[in-house]
Amino acid sequence: MRTVWAGVALATGGSMAMAQVVPPPVVAKTAMTTQQTFEAATELTTKGEWAEALAAWEALERRPRMTARAVAIIRVRKGYVLSRLGQDDAAAEVLRLGLAALPASDATLADDRFLGERERGLIAYRALDYATAADALTKAGESATDNGDRLTALTSLTTVQTFLDPAAAEVSLAKLKALAATMTLTPSDQGNILVTETELLLNQGRFRDAAKTGRAAVKAFGGLSTSKIRLDDAVARSDTAIAMLLAGQDEDAREFLAYSGAGQSTTEFARGLEMPVPFCGAEDGLNPDDVAVVEFNINEDGTISSSRPIYAVGGGAAGLAFARAARDWSFNRNMLKSLPAFFRNKARVELRCSTAFPRPSLRGLVETALVRWLDEQGSPAPDKVVAAMAWRRDLARLGQLEQKGEARGAPLIAVLKSLAANPMAPREDANLYATRALALLDDRAPPLARLSLELRVLDTSGTERRRAVVYWAGLKALLAKPPYKDDPRARAAIGLLLADGLGRGQITQAKALVEPVAKDPQLPATDAFKIGALIRLASLNARQGKTEEARLAFEQSGLDGEQCALADAAPKLVSIGGEFPEEAKRWGFEGWTTSEVDVGADGSVPLARPIVSYPPFVFTKAGVATVKGAHYTKSYRPSGGVGCRARPVSIKFSLGR
């Protein structure tokens, strides 16, 4: 079965074609036995005829008098097929049911258990739910009966742990290398393991070690002399180049980057149609100093099929936050026609958050209400430690409480809440912890405190997490449900969360949710939710070109109103500075950057910070130098201060070919 269901390792971000197909009904000319139907379904699965295979497995599942063991096997294999069809939510649920019912003592089902857990890990990986992916891949490795399967599971596990628990990733990598030493591997397998190690070293800040390991990975794939490269070759070359650039080995880096395919075809890839970066602060808690390199695949229609973090400053959570933002990008279809298909599969950019409209985190404000209430009940929040340490601490604390028979009370709610919010928690476990904690709350808890757990339950109810349909439907239902609809702060939080979840083109709908919060007489002017609503209203009006309304809303928030997006007459660019980097010119690189600049009242640029750069780390410094050397028209300010802040400026570095 292993050769029948071999999958793509996560380590290099491999993607597989997905098709949303409605399976046709299977019509048999003569009745087949259960065994014959099972063999037919297996054959269809082996051939990759996914729609027909799904219909066959579903027909088997409906057969009467099937044993629980047989149904469990069928569901695991059906879940595998659903995953191949791109129906991740349905696949995850079917796999959950199937895996839970597989008899744990039946050693003959080890291959099915491996298949189901590995597929569950792949689904979570695609959803950027790395905690669930790590849990599933760990179980897949434990179920594997073949060293090749163990190698696949460990390679993928190390990849996700790099952004979840680096210490655990080191342990998994050591096991991976020890196992590999006992096997005869293909050059491609060796290269993938070295790529996994390179990316771990890169995120540990060990840039020279990463560069050395990256060189070995490139060599394993055939070296720079290879004229025809596969996607995994390009990944290895790009990883190595990034490590070299960060290690200050610029000359070597340019060579590896040139052979990765980056820095080319930038005429077509100059800018996405919609490529917004997340705001600093907000829900993901990103800081202006956080940086990430994100890799993404572009569909033929211009949408993003998948994304993953490669490197992050600010921790794995920051990398995953930037990767989630990239999933909502879209590109001009006409631009894509002339963009090589190879390039669309492994595009990489360097990202930072935007300071244009800084805003308080809604989830943070709601969470604070629960923390404050628990503190009042005698269960203060424990000292902050890294996620992995907090996870082990809270599991031990939960065990102690349960051993003592403490089935209720603030201490139990506090530890369940902490476990549910920990990024180490697999999605299903987080959902169980949050649901259990919510059930323990009594009517004394403020609505906003209760809302914190309600949101966590919704947030973990689907494989796509916040993007899941169940989340948004549940959020809308909460808006009309007591006690939230009667509490101004809880009502405000839900309305703003709904507004933030709308697409960039749904400005009218977003304003209909934001304006009632901004104008709510029950919320004082200093309330954080009202301030958040006014900032969002300013941003929405600015996007509609309603400058006066935008500026008024921002001023009402009580924050600095000198944002460039709100200026009635934004300073105009008079001249630009900077030069095309000589290193990039020698290697024939092209690229672009987008920076946010503060424009002084005298037209100078006292501050500039990059937010998007392509290729990563090649034109970033040159882009900042270019915009810092720019001059704008003067702006009168009574204070004599900044003319406006956070004006986006894009610079394209073209060789003019």
* Residue 9 confidence (pLDDT): 40
Which of 177-186, 223-232, 616-625 is predicted least confidently?
Answer: 223-232
88-114 mean pLDDT: 94
pLDDT band at 570 (very low <50, low <70, confident <90, very high): low
Beta strands 354-359 and 279-281, pairing class: parallel
CA-to-CA distance for 497 and 558, rounded, in angstroms?
A: 22
Which of 60-64, 352-356, 565-569 is predicted least confidently?
Answer: 565-569
CA distances to 36, 74, 277 from 32, in Å: 6, 17, 55
154-178 mean pLDDT: 97
497-519 mean pLDDT: 91
CA distances to 108, 223, 322, 558, 613 from 105, in Å: 9, 47, 42, 64, 53
Q: Is the per-residue pLDDT at 280 higher than 50?
A: yes
CA distance from start to end of the chain:
53
* Residue 517 confidence (pLDDT): 96
Tell me whether residue 17 is exposed, middle or buried, using C-beta atoms within 10 angstroms of its C-beta: 0 to 12, 13 to 18, 19 or more: exposed
Q: What is the pLDDT of residues 53-69, one digit of tens each?
A: 999 999 999 999 899 99
What type of residue sits at position 339? L
Q: Is the per-residue pLDDT at 3 higher than 50?
A: no
617's torsion region: left (phi>0), alpha (psi -120 to 50) or beta? left
CA distances to 341, 479, 482 from 488, in Å: 51, 11, 12
Rounded to 10 degrees, the C-alpha dihedral 441/484/536/453 comes to 20
pLDDT band at 265 (very low <50, low <70, confident <90, very high): low
CA-to-CA distance for 400 and 405, rounded, in angstroms?
A: 9
CA-to-CA distance for 480 and 583, rounded, in angstroms?
A: 60
* Residue 20 confidence (pLDDT): 38
- Candidates 185, 241, 393; CA nearest to 233 is 241
Residue with token string 């991740």: 88
Rounded to 10 degrees, the C-alpha dihedral 618/351/569/282 comes to -160
- Candidates 534, 519, 568; CA nearest to 548 is 568
Q: Is the per-residue pLDDT at 457 higher than 60?
A: yes
* Residue 370 confidence (pLDDT): 95
* Residue 561 confidence (pLDDT): 54
Query: Mapped to the 3 state alphabet, what secondary structure does 204-240 carry?
Result: CCCHHHHHHHHHHHHHHCCCCCCCCCCHHHHHHHHHH
CA-to-CA distance for 463 and 87, rounded, in angstroms?
A: 10
CA-to-CA distance for 224 and 29, rounded, in angstroms?
A: 56
Q: Which of 30-39, 200-209, 613-622 has the highest mean pLDDT?
A: 200-209
CA-to-CA distance for 597 and 606, rounded, in angstroms?
A: 8
Number of helical (H) and strand (E) elements in the chain, helices listed first? 27, 10
Which of 59-68, 136-145, 157-166, 470-479 is predicted least confidently?
Answer: 470-479
Which of 175-179, 306-310, 469-473, 642-646 is predicted least confidently?
Answer: 642-646
Residue 646 · residue 564 · CB < 8 Å: yes
CA atoms within 13 A on the CB side of 370: 27
* Residue 643 confidence (pLDDT): 63
Residue with token string 């293909």: 186
CA distances to 162, 299, 330, 334 from 169, in Å: 5, 31, 33, 41
Q: What tokens does 656 get?
A: 């003019």
CA-to-CA distance for 308 and 360, rounded, in angstroms?
A: 26
Q: Is the per-residue pLDDT at 29 higher than 70?
A: no
Percent of the chain as helix, strand, coil, to the nearest 5: 55, 10, 35
Q: What is the pLDDT of residues 596-613, one digit of tens each?
A: 988 887 888 888 999 999
Give the mean pLDDT of the chain: 86
**Single pTM value for the model:** 0.85
| 27/32: higher pLDDT | 32
CA-to-CA distance for 233 and 87, rounded, in angstroms?
A: 29
CA-to-CA distance for 73 and 136, rounded, in angstroms?
A: 17
376-393 mean pLDDT: 90
